[in-house]
Each structure stands twice: as structure tokens, then as C-alpha cells.
Structure 1
Amino acid sequence: MSHQHKESQRVEIYGGTGGPGGPGSGGGRGGDGYGPTLKVEAGTVHIVINHESKEIPRIEFLNWLSPINFFLRQEDILRVWQEGTGEWLLADSRFQAWKTGSRRTLWCHGIPGAGKTVLASIIVKHLSDECEKNKTLGVACIYLNHKEADNQTPPKLLAALWRQLVYGRDISSIAKNIYTQHQEKGTTPSLKEVLEVLRSSLEEFSKVFVVVDAIDEYPEVQRPQLLQYLAAIGSNINLIITSRPHIYPEPSFPNLETLDICATSEDIRKYVEAQISLSPRLLKHIQSLPELEEVIHSTINSQSVDGMFLLPKLHIESLSTKGTIKAVREALKTLPKNLHDSYDIVMQRIEGQSEEDRTIAHSTITWVANAKRPLTVQELQVALAVEPGTQQLDNENLMSIDTILSVCAGLVIVDKQLSVVRLVHYTTQEYLNSIQAQKFPDAQTEITRTLFTFLTFDGFPDQSWSNRGAILPPLVEYSQYCLVHAAGEHEGQLKDMITEFSGRAVQWKQTMNEENLYTERKWDSPPWNYPDWPSQPSALWIAAAANLVETTKSLLQGAPLLQDSASQEIVIASYYGYAEIICILVEKGANINAPWRHHGSLLEAAAYGGHTKIVHTLLDTGADANAGGWSPLQAAAFLGRTEIVHILLEKGANINLSGGEYGNALQTAANGGHTEIVRILLDKGANVNAAGGRYGSSLQAAAANGNAEIVCILLDKGANVNAAGGRYGSSLQAAAANGKGEIVHILVDKGATVNAAGGEYGSSLQAAAAEGYEKIACFLVERSADINEAEGEYGSLLQAASYRGQAEIVRSLIKKGVNVNTAGGEYGSPLKAAAYNGHTKIVRILVEHGANVNEASGEYGSLLQAATYKGQTEIVCILVENGANVNAAGGKYGSSLWVAAFCGHTKIVDILLTKGVEIHAAGEHYGTLLHVAAWMGHTETVCILLEKGADVNVPVEHYGTLLQAAAWMGRTEIVQILLEKGANINATGGQYGTALEIATKQGYNKIVSMLLKRKMKEMSSLMPQLWEDYRQ
């Protein structure tokens, strides 16, 4: 093989199928293929065999788009379900009507402890069984938890619904495209993108049941937004929600019905039986006195439970501590009739333990009740083992989780599926909150000291933690909340520790937000997720970033007025909504119009974050209502901050100020689907036809995002239905490209021009065809859309449909007489578009209807060569069977057979050789076909070429023979094949000696052994003749 090239050149060959290029004439290049890479540069050939697939594993994709997995929570809840309970709800006529009806909402109220969460899991299980029988039905659930509110954002919760619905099904191209867009940036999907993915999944079902448990545990400020999205995600949704009685249903929910949840006496009896069976002491008492069981049942059921499961659980745990039957009887006489009194008794049991056990219980309850998210078992164990003033963890101080649970009297449990520690019930949290000031006054101080001590351990932080395979010490990830726990009245007690940690905070920020660190390990809570950390943050900056009010006051006490150097402190305080910090800084002279590169101004940052109080404060102290990259008004409109929109308009914000991604506030609101804000802006004089921004107009933004109500509002206010501009060129194309059939009908009925040219797809018809929206395409054709138009990146409607794999649309167009060989567009012809993207069915359709199989194909020379390169065996067969020239030369790779040998597509090699292709033909860089197959390590291809007559001893430049070249490359299997086919082991040509000498120098011991055995075999066969010659 020659390493010398007369001309200066560089060629890169990527194995596998490359990604599509960007749109339009200025589109980006396609993504690299997934196979080997060959780079040929002036004077040398570099071969990089990269077999790592760029196809993201399914589970990694699911975890990226949907980090919350409710499958595990569902299983864990079902573990505590006593089989046979809850059947009353499934038989209730209101539940049955909800299940069989269309687009219905059932809102289930229940008092604390009534078993709402377990009933929700029973419903999910029941519906899942139904879905197994009928694959057109879907079911998904959400279990809300106030401890996880920071993580349970609307985008993540909606993505969790998608994750459940896609179980056992293919992931849509929409979802994959969103992943591709975010992968290189390292960003996460927006709410709008999550909704798009979820809605595409919902379309696969005739009906989807969505069960949402404990909506009352969701933050009150965010609750309306979540409910709004749940009510509007799809017309095929049947929604069931559980909550406490004080939460009232939204009237906007369709076909709303309510149902009260209350544990029945029969269910409570079954539950008590199950709890008794778990108590060895009670079972022993009942064995001695069988009637005691009925006494327990009747007392618990008749006197104290009030429709709750939780009270019986606490009662049985209390009775299980009694050592005699008499003690059980006495306890039954004084059973508490409410949860608070029951918890008081539990706390009395904890206080009655030994001092050591009591201390462990207090520390455990302190951590579990005050943790900012559920702790893992290991995190809790380490937290309890950290000793003040130490520099490392003493493993002998670690306790087993059984020991920890045993001293907590049932208040703390382990979620075995997720391996996290929880309080037994959310009412337990409420009870502990009510007694914290009395029983646990130093809870936050204790936790903070533990975390700060842990973070100063020797060797922390360790840069090696950023390695993908590294194992982080337990509690490292949770320690990001150290500053959150530090904030409050107890800051003064922690002054020295806060000061010491402030000096090391940036080091922890850098380590725990390394690019290579797994997302779930990163410190992604405030202040660590702030995007604009200084390289050397001051103690004041850390205090402002962490909302350390007392520390901020202390640092500023006696200090002169702040200058511009303090602008970053007030910026981050505005970003997170720390009103008290802002007031302190403003009093000290901080600049309220300080710029920030991400949100332009403090006011914009506060508006974006929804911090109403801070918006008021900033405006009242003279902040510019129109300052920023976006305007503050756009920032508020983007996330539907209605109250802030009102405030800004009252303070004189320019309603038509242009700029930013969406051009103006109206387009921003239309893009986000915020109907109320759209109405407010229009009523206040927003220009309905203002041009600019991503979509060109507010109407196009609303059309693209499928909000029919906003589309109608804008049209009623005089929006130009044919306004040109933006990504899609027109509102009609925007609706067609995104499959918004209802809006397509509205726009056409309002006079939209169906053949308007321009935009990403060239026309609305091409947009619908390219994205596979057949009904929309047919509708547009019925309304006189031109099926022979030659616009856009695909050049023709047929090429667009072929590229996207829309077989039925292709058939329909051909029936209507469209020319299958229409030239133009990105791929040159419909056949190329289909073949390049592996759409075998469409290739067959086009060829059957006269598509030219021998048209030239750019860098590949021919369509056959291109299909060969991509390993599309079936398409190769179709082309060959229909007259493709198998010997056609040209393109980057010379011939189809050479490409097949290079890529190791053995089946295609066999097909082409069967059709009479010359087996001894030489390529530009590797010589013969046998050379290239051997060089690339394609063992099967080498075998078939030798079987078909390739010369095993043909000369190879630089190496002498192929055997010598294979020895140089360490191709053990190929060396074996060549020896079996009679390769000359003694060949001496080339620069590196014989094959044996080469393998010895390279250190390939297996090849050396193979060659020596062959050498000895040859010598042994020659010995009789040599002996005879010697004698003579």
C-alpha cells in the first residue's frame, strides 16, 4: 500500500450513515457516521478505527429527557397496599363513568391518612392491566412530594408522563431531534419542547389516563401552572387528581366530577389484620388469647380511625410495644383519636429510650425532616457518622440502617425501590414542624455543621470525581445544600465556618460542575447553578448568592457605600429573588440598573424569575422598565408572569419594544401559549402585525405552537394571515410543518395563500409532506396547492416526502402524475433522497415507477456506490435488479465493490461479485479489494474474496505481500486465513522483512507462534529430501 501522494490532499471517510445537513443553501454539514474513520492527508494515511456508536442508548436517552422515574415510586407504594382494599373505588359509578367517558376529570378529595396515595397506585395498577389488553389505551402517573418540589418542575413532570407512555414503544423522531439539538450544548429541553414530545406521544393512543397524586403537596405558586398544562395537554386525556379537602378543583377542567376518599371499615379491618401479622409480640398475645384480635379490631374501627389508615398503623405500632395482654387492653382504652396525639405518644416512646438511642433518633429525625430532598440510605448513614472537628470519616462509626430505623419508632421508613429514607407520612412532617422549635431547636445548625465538617475532609474536593467512572463519597452530592441550611437566624453561630467555606466555594463549584461529571451528580441548586459565577467570588458575593441575610449585614456593617464592584451581588440576588438581600444592598448604594449578560438587567432577571415583590422594589427605586437584551416585559411574557406583566405596563413599559429572540412581548406570549397575556397586551395596544423575531409575527408563533385560541384572537384583532417572514415564511407553513391541522383549516378559511413560497420548507404543502402530515397535505391539495412546485431545500414535493420516508404520500403523488425524476433540491432527485436516508420501501416504489437508477451521485459517483457505502443491502439489491451499472467508476471511492470491501459489507460484496464485477480491480489508496478488506480487518470479506479467486500473494507496496502487511497490522485472524489459503511465508520483499520478522519486531506473539508453526511444518516436510541430498 502506498503512503506517497503526489498531490496535496486530505480525504476523510466516515463509516456508517451521517446525520442530515442543516436547512437551506447555507445549511450545516451532516453529522459524522457511526463507523470507522479514514483520514488521508498529504504524504501519509492515518487510520482511526472508531467503533463507538454515536447512537445514544435508550436508557440514557430516557434519563436525559425524563430524569424523574415514577415506575419505581409506583412499585414502592404498591408494596404497602393490602390486597383487597380499595375495591370500593374501582366499583364506584363515578370512577366507572370517568374511565369509560372521554376527556373527563375526576377530582378525589381525602383527609390526611385516608390512603389517597395507595388508592392512586391501585388505580394505576388497574388501568395498567386494562392497557395490557388494549394497546390503544395509555396510563401514566405523577406522585407529588413537597420534599422534591425543586426537582418536580412542570417540564420534568410532563416529561415523566412521556417516559411512561413511551414504555415498550419507539422513541419519536421529534424527541431524538430535540436531544440532538441539546447534546452538544449540554442543555436541557424547554417546557415547550417537552410538551411537543409529550403531545406527539399522546397521538399514538385513543385515550390516555393520567393519575396525579397529592396536588396539595405541590407549591401553591406553581400549582395553577401545572394544572393548566395538565388540563390542556391533549383532547384524549382522562385526568384523575387526589388532594386534601381544602384544595378546590379548577373550573376549567373538562367534564369535572368530584369523589370523596374515605377508608371503609372493611378496608381498615383488612389493613389491621395485615399490620398485626407483622408484629411477633401481638401474634404471641393473640395466640394465648384468640379473642384479643377481635377486641383490637372493634376498638380501632369503632373509636378512633375516622376513615384513616394512618391512625391504625400508629395504633398497631404502639400496641406492639406492650409486653402483656393486660398492657394491650389498657392501651386500647386510651387510644388517641387524632394524629397529633398519636404522634405525641410515638415521641414519648422515643424519649423513653436509652440516651444513646434517643440521640440517634433525634439526629435521624433532624436530618430526614429537614433535608432539602430525600436522603439516600448511604447519605443518612454518613451524615450520622461525621464527627465534629474530624478530618476524615471513621468507618467504624457507621451504623446499619436497621439500627437507625429501630430507634425511630416507625416515623422513618426506607423506600426500597429508590433506596431513599422518608418520613412515614406527610402529616409526620407537619407534626415535626410544629414541635421543631421545642424539640429540635438546633436542627439547621446541626446539619450545617455536619456538612461544613464533611466538606473540609482531607483531600476534598478531589478532581478525579469528574471522571465518568469515579465513585463519589456518599453525602458529596447532597452537600450542595450546605449554604441553604446555613441561612437563617442561626448564621451567627456558624460565622467562622461560613467564612472558611466561602474561600473554598469556587473550588467546589468547579469540581462539582465539571463538564464530564454525570448530570445527576452535579451541584445544580442555588447558588451553584448560577450561570455567571465570578472567578474569585468575594465573601459578600457568596453571602448574597446564598441568601445569607445576617452574614450580608455583618459584612456591610460599617462599610462605605457600594460602588459598581458590588453590582454582581445585587444581580444574583435579583436572579434568585432574595428581596431582603436586595433591600440591604440598595440601602448601601448598589446600582439597581446594573447590567447582566444573560438577562440584560436586574429587572429583566426578576421578571423572568417571577419575583413579583422584587419587581415592585426595583421599579419603586428607579429601575428602567425597558432596559435589557429582552425587555422585562418580554421576560415576564415568556413564562406567563401575568401579574408582573400588569405591573410593568402600569409603570410605563413600552408594549411594542422590539428585540430579543421573539421580537416583541406579543410574539413571546403567543409562542408560550399564554392566552391571558396575549389578551392583555392586545387590549393595551400591542401591534398585532409587528414583524421580527424567530417567527416573524405573533400569528406565526401561535400557529407553530398549535394554540388555536390565540390564533383566533390574533385574527380577530386584524393579524395579517399572509404576513411573510420568520422561520417558516408564513403562518400556514408553520402550522403545516408542526402538524396543527385545526389551525391549517382556520388559516385557509381566513384566506391564507396555500401556494405562498418561502420559508424553511419552500411551501406549506412541502412542509406537511416532509413531516408526514398526510391529512394536512391532502387538505391543502384539495384547496388547490400545487403538487409540482419546485421550491425549498427539497426542490420538489416528491423529494420532500421521499426524504422523510412518507410512503403513502409518495404513492399518492405518483398517482397524481408527479414526475419521479424531477431534478433539484438538496439531494438532486426523489430516489437519491429516499436511498440516502435508507427508505427501502420508497426506493422500491420510485424504481417501479421509472426512477433512474444510474443517475450520477456527487461524491459517491453513483447511487449504487452511495447505498453500498451505507450498507443498505436491500436497496443495493433493488438497484442492481433494476439495471444499476455495477461497474460504474467514479466518485470519492472509485467503485461500489471497493466501497463494500472497505466498509466490510460482506453481503453486498457477494452480490456485486455475483453480478460479474472485476475482483482484481485496484483502488487509489489500498491497491486491490483484498488489500482494503484485510487492512480494515474485515475477516468475512477477506474470506469471500479469496473464495472468489483473489490472489493471496499479490504484491503490496512497502510491505511486500498481504501476509507481511497483515503481520505488521497485527491482524491475527487474517494472518491465519492467508496461511490457510497458501500465502508465501518466506516472502522477503518490502521494507520490513519477512512476515515472521515483522511480527517479532511488532511484538505480536500469537502471530509469531502461528508463523513458526507453519515454518516448522514446511521444514519437516523438507527434511527427508534434505537428508537424501546430504547422503549423496
Structure 2
Amino acid sequence: MADGNKAPDSTTLPKSKSKVMFSTIKNKFKKFQQSTEARTHLSNTAVLGRPSSNHRNDSSRPGTDDEQCAPAHENQGMAGVVDNGNATTAEAPNSSSFVAAVAHPLSVNSIEKGPTAQNVVKPELYSTLELWNVAYDELKLKEEKLIQEYEERLRGDLTTMLGATIAFSGSKVERKDLMRRLLIRKIDDIKENTWKLKFGGQEIPVKDLAQPVVGIIQWADDYISGALNANPYASVAWAGVSLLLPLTLNPSKQAASLAKCLDYVSDLIVRSTMRESLYERRYGSQEDNKDQEFALSSYKMYQDTLKSLYVEILKFQASSICYLSKNSTSRLGLDVVKHDDWDSSLNKIQGRENAFCKVYEILKDTRDQEIREAVFQRHREKIEAMGSISCNIIALQKSVDDKQREAERKELLNWLSSIDPSENHNTALRAHQEGTGDWLLQGNDDFETWKTKPNSLLWLNGKAGSGNASVIQHLRGSYEPNPENVVAFFYFSFTDGKKQDTVEMLSSIVKQLCCRRPDTPTCVEALRQYKEKGQRSDLKTLASTLLAALHGFTHVHLVLDALDECPYESGARETLLCAIHLILEKKPDNLHLFLTSRREVDIEAGLKPLISIPPLNTFTVDINLSTVQDALDLDIGLHIDQKLNAEPFRSWPNDVKEEAKTALIRNADGMFQYVSCQFDALRGHRGKYRIREALRDLPKGLDATYDRMLRSIDPRYQKQVASILKWLSFSCRPLLVEELAEAFILDPEKAIPFNEDDRLFNPEEVLAYLPGLVVKVPVHIDQYSDEYFIKRDEDAFQIRFVHFSVKEYLSSTRMTQEDFSAAEKTSHLHISESCLAYHLQLSASTLATKNTLKQFALWEYTARNWSIHLEEVARELWTPSLVSHATQALSANSQSLLNMVRVWNPGNLRNNLQTTPESLVSPLYYAASTGVFKLASLLIHNGADVNEISPDGREQSPLQAAAYKGHKEIIGLLLHHHASIHQEGGYFGNALQVAAFTGRQDIIQLLLDRGAERVTDTKILSNFSLIVVLR
């Protein structure tokens, strides 16, 4: 077909055009069907057994209308009633038929269709694979005498072959089997060279005599072997072929014509068998056909046309065999009577085949169009699905990208700060009495102005334990519903070292601001470089980051509580005040800063320049609680009322309650903590006399209160209590209840410092030895925590002093109970000795694993922090036993050092528990990484190699380790003892390149000043330090 006339691709046809094409084919098929209606009607009439012009009065005709309309057997491929392969129709009288009767191929079924349940006639279809049987039966009805003679011929051949008279039951199954046996025997004769003809005194095998029949023999043999055996009932046709084969070998025109017909017929049988199989596989099921009526009609037309072809083939075979057998003087002799009807028979067969081919082509076109429509529909569905999938993929990709960015953002913020400020806030809320602080929160002009004025500062100050009112909840309720506002806060705490650090405070505030933003400011993203280097950003960078994170908010209310709990001695408080100045000097209009503390001299001096002479356009206010004593007494009175109305004080008489309230307010001097302590003491009294006696004997102030608490401790446990008071006062982080219980039974002065048999039955029982002094705080350990490694992502309880004033009293010189003193230096000395005793005892026989660290709750803390505590002790206070224990703990290749590294390696925070002796770092490398100057000096004094390379995979020297962690004093110490400043090793190179990577300009300058050569290989340098190193 020319391109211009080429049919369009079905996948591109519009739906309307597709319908038109299908309708055209359907009409074409129906027109063809009408043209063959008479023949089809005649065929149906004959098969159904209705009287025809030749058999109208023949009462011997097999079958009746009732029998032929019977329902089909459920296990039978064709319609009709068949029982175990035997036909149920009656055999015709006087019939010696090869098959007496068959189940009839058509019946009429009544079906309900539509709401009126009208009966419609539905043609009964039979399996296409049974068409040979159906055609045989139809021919038998039309040509009864011919078939009777043909079956007599078959019976004779079978009797001759098998040597016995054959009796037939008449079933279609037996017909198929007997004809198959006949066919097999004939072909076997050929294959065994037993089928021979005599010519000129010689016996010549048939297969060698006539080449034209060789193909026919091969087809028949293929059928027998199964190559073409898709339909076992085709043996009906092949049996006739096998009988005709000998008759084609006579040397006459008649035989030649017959051979031509037989060759053509055999070819048709083969092709028809294939068509049957194809049709059953491709068109047999019409369950998915949208036009059931048309499908049934087309299926019926296909079967009828093919059946008509089969009838002609069988008629040709039967007529030929009967004629030639009757007109031959011998079975394989010469022709006696000329018979020229073979060409006419062949023409009839060809006519039937042509008719079938037309039907087949129409049906194929119909099926092809259906397939094209199905393909087109699937194509459309796939296009729609692909479009949907594409949208889904885009949405999924966006979702994945968003989640990835969110995960990276969350990881960055968690690295920025692991502190949860809500822990302290929730503790304060539990202790807060409703109504207290209303003097400030409701109607106070200074407070109202502070909330809205740009760049405002309010400092609320008073005595320790004054119950400085928390305004966080008030601000949250007033401002946080609006997403343009944010309330951030930070509680400084004397019990937690991280909550005494200004850098930690700034980091926490930045994190809180980012959590209220939909985006991550560029300045915050820039902090990622520190994370990737294992560093922390400096104070100025964080202050600038905080100021940048303020942008975009209308109001940012920032509350910093208990500035006085930031230590003064270490210089941390001075750093905090400097940070406050850095922030306020930038005059952020949307910032409102709220500070609380005691009125300490250094804090007042630091804030005075901001308050007395505030920067331009800055609002500041100083609220001294001592000037609002009446308001404080009112708040304390509300607190006392709440306590007296709860158990166990509810049953007190009202007059006793009033006396208690008056006495407590008078002695409290504005301190809530004092009142709380007295209620703990009054709890055990019953009766007016005892209660009034206790009220007259109230201690004067908090010092006297704490002194009384300590004196009430059982003398048998005073040493153990004094020990854990030191632990609580100066531990590097808050202790968990199980850790404190372990410290309670630890005595470094004993020969065996730790005995598991001394453990309390329940760790929380340790709280009974500290009545009124501590509080149990529920916490959830962050999954990224490196301080509570073994408890990551678990709930736990921290033990803290009930108030800052407790630690202040224990570490002061005001104590009258010196045995309980918790002075800083002596406390660190005691804790370091205890840690070393515990760690060395366990390391003597146990390897640190996840299970053993859980079994010995204090081991993680002691292995990691004993050197930190010892560093806080003056070198002259180190006892010989302490030096010995420290040296033992840091022995090269020892299990003690191995356990320390497995618990915590400052140079590698991942998979430390996998550390093996082969990858263990040197003691000096560990000390340089940790930053413990005094221990590093001890190791060098004892002969440690200052240039030893670590075997842990980093291949660095102690100098490189100190440069990476930024420990300036250690760097100076190592260089003083001739550490090689140019020593190469590890990923970074020499110490200067390590410092350049971390971006520490002070370390870079120190190394340059000490003779380090300027870097020429800049491939690993950070942009931040590149100019400094190369200048």
C-alpha cells in the first residue's frame, strides 16, 4: 500500500474513528452472514434433526428435538448429553453405522435478560476442536447410504488388520480411537516397507513408488506422533486419507487427479487443525467481549463455514473410497470405469475453503480491530498512568528532597545544641503557684512597656530562692499564637556544666529561633563547616548568627534565667555579660531581653552601663525585688496557702494554719526556697503543741535551714552522704539516679573500692539519704548525646540539688558542718580519686562493652571524666597514690587505656566500642586530644615520645591531635619538648595544615610563630584560613 493510503496506526486513532471502523467491519460481517443464511439454516436444520425435504417423513432419524435441546454436560467440550463418552441419543433402526449417534452440537437455552426477564434464543456453541465429528454426523444425516457403505469399508479394513470382527458401540470417542488405530497401522506398514505393490514381478514399496504422496505420508505420521495432534478428532479425516493413499498409485489419469485432490485435502486438514487450535486459543473465550451478540454470531459463522468445508472433505473421501472400491476388479488394480469427477469434487472443496477464508478474514479484521482498540485503550491508560506516575514521581522527588533537607537541617540543629531548655522550665512550672507574680504580669507599666518597646531590656533581681517569677508561660500565651513572634529562653544551672556556658546558651537560642522559622538562615547553614570539622563555633560567630536569625520576626522575647548560676570563678559569667553587650549594641528592634539573677556585684557592674546609660533608642528597666517586698510576701502567702490545703497539712486547724503562715512569711525574707524547706521539716509533726514548738524554732535563713538538714543525717551514712554531695556539686554533668547510687557505695580509701554486694536494692533509695536537698528530674536522653552514650534515646532521671542555694552553702565557708563541705578543689580531688579507683578495679578484669557499661552504671562517667576532674586539682595537691593511679590508667597498650578509648575517644566519636588493642592510640595522643595539660606533662616527664604516630588509622602525632582540637597549652608543651612541627601524617599533613583545616587563626599564628613553614599545598585548606596561612 502506498504511503498516502496507508492505514493509520491503531494507537493513534481517535476513539470516534475507531468506533466507525469497528462498526464497518461488523456490518460487513453481518452482510456476509445474510448471504449465507439459507445454507446455514439448512445446516442447522439437518444437525438439529428437523425434517428436511429428503427426510421429512423419516421416523428412523436418530435424535429428537427434546433430546437435542437438553442441557450440556458440565464436563463435555461440545453441547449435548454425553455419559462417559457414550451418546444418549437412540441409534437409527437397521443402521450398521460406524458411529450410531452423537451429542448434537446446537441447543436452545433460555436466559433472563433485562428487567422483563424475556426469553431469547441463544445459539448453543460447541468446541471448534470437535468440528470433524460434527461434520461427520451432518454428512451422515445428509448422505446416509454413502456413509453406511463407507463405514462398511472401514470395518473391513479394520477386520483385516486386527484379524477379528469389529463391533462398534457407536460413541464419538470410539469412532475417534478406531480411526486412529487404522491410521497408525497404515502408516506403520509404510514405515516398515510392508505396504508394497507388484509391478513386473517385483514388489515395490509404496513410499518409493509415488513421490507426490510422500508429503501426505509425512503429514499423517506427524499427526500420529503428536506434532500436529492439537485435535484428536482429526483422526476421522486422516483415516480417510490413509485409505485413499493406495488408490492414488494406479498409473492412470484418474489416479493422478485423485492424488492431486488428496494432496490438497491433506494440506487442508493440516491447516484446519492449526486454525482450530488458534481459534480456541485466541477467540474461544468471549468473556471480555463488549459486544456479546456480535461475538456469538461471528463465532457461529466461523464454525458453520469451517464445518461446511469439513463436510465436503469427508464427502470427497467417502465418495472416492466407495466408488473406487466398487469399480475396481481388484483392490489396487487398474481402472475399469472412467470416473472424472475428482476435479469437480476438488472445486467444491476449494469453494468451501474460499467461503471459509472470507469469514476468517472478516473475523480476523474484527479481532484485529478489537486488539487495536484494546491496544489503543491500554496506550491511553498507560499515558494517563505515566502522567500520573510522572506527577507522583515529581511529588515524591520533591517530598524526598524536602525530607532530606529537613533531615539535614534537623541534624545541623541537633549538633548546634543538645540542650532541652524545657526541662528546667517544666520543673519551674511544677513549683509555680497560680497567682504568684501577678504583680508583675498584670498592670505593671515597666513590664508592659518592655514587651513592646524596640530593643528593650528588663533585669529582675533579688535574693537566692526569692521565687523569681517566670514570665515565659505568660509570654507564650500572649505572643506565640502569632507565627511572626517567638519566645526563646535559657535556664542557667549550677548543676549542669553545659548550662553554665555562654556558647551553649547562644547555640540553644539560635536553635529555638530556627525551629520557629520555615527556612534556615544562611548564617546558620554556614555553621555546618564547623560541624563537618568536628569543631564548635566561637562566641562572636554565634552572636552574629543569633542577630541574623532574629530577622523576619515581629517580636522576639528572650528570657535568660539565673545569670548568677553561671560560675564567676572560671570567667564564664564575664563571658556571658560580654555576649549580652554584643547583642544589645547591634540594637535589634524586635528583641526584648528579660534577665533574672541575684543582685551580685559583678552582674550589677556588667549590666549597669546598659541600664543607667542605655544606648540610643533602647528601653531598659531594673526591678529590684527588695523594693517590692509586700508583693513578694503576697506571693509567698499564696504559696503557703496552697501547701496548707494539701496533704498532709489539710487536717490542721485553721488557727494553726494561720500561725504557720504568719511565721513562715516573717522568716522567709522573700525567699520561696526557705518556705519549701520548712514544709519538709513540718511534715512529720502532729498536734498543736509540736507544730507550734517547731514554728518557734524555725531556722533563721537558708544557711541555718541547710545546716539543720545535714545535722539530721544518720551518722552511719554521713561519710557516704558527704561523698555524693561532692559528686552532685561538681560533676561534669548531672548524674543519673543509678550513677549516684553507684557513687554512694564507692570508697576510694578501701582496698576494694567497689563491692556489688553493697548496692542498694533500688537505685532511687539513695534519695532517702538526702531529704529536702535534691530533686529527681525526668529527662529523655537525646539520641545524639555524647555525654550519656549508653543511655541514648532513653528516658532517665537526673538528680539535682533542689535549689542553687544548696550548692552555694555546701561550697561556702559559712558551713558549720565541715564534714559535709563541698569546696571545689577538694571535691574535684575526691571525685578524681573515686573515678580512678572504680575504673581501674573494673579494667583489671573486664572489657568495656555495651552490656558491661550498663551493668556498671558509673563506668562511662568515670572512664571519660576522671582526667577532667584531676585537671581541676592543683598539681601540688596530687598525692603519690593519685599519681600512681593516673599513670597506671594511662599505661601504653593497657586494658585501662583501651577501655577509656572504647568509652570515649575525643579524636573519634564514632564506633569507639570497636576499638581493638592493635588500633589503640598512645597515652600522650589521648591526653593531647582531651586537652589535659597536667597529665600530658606527667606523661612527657615519664618519657613519652612526643612524635609517636597513632595507629588508629589517623596516623597523626600528639601535636597534630592538639592542633585539631585547638588546645594551645598542649601545643606549647609539645613544642617545648621538641615535637616536630613539620612532621607529616594522616589526611591533613602537618600540624599547620591541620590548624588551617579547622580555621583556628590563633593556632595557625602560634605555629607560624614557632617556625612552621607556610603552606603551599592548598587543596585541603578552608577558605576561612587560606589568606592567613599564605600571607
- The two structures have a TM-score, normalised by structure 2, of 0.46
Max Rg structure: 2
Q: Which structure shows the higher helix fraction?
A: 2
Q: Which has the higher contact order (CA 8 A, sep 6+)?
A: 2
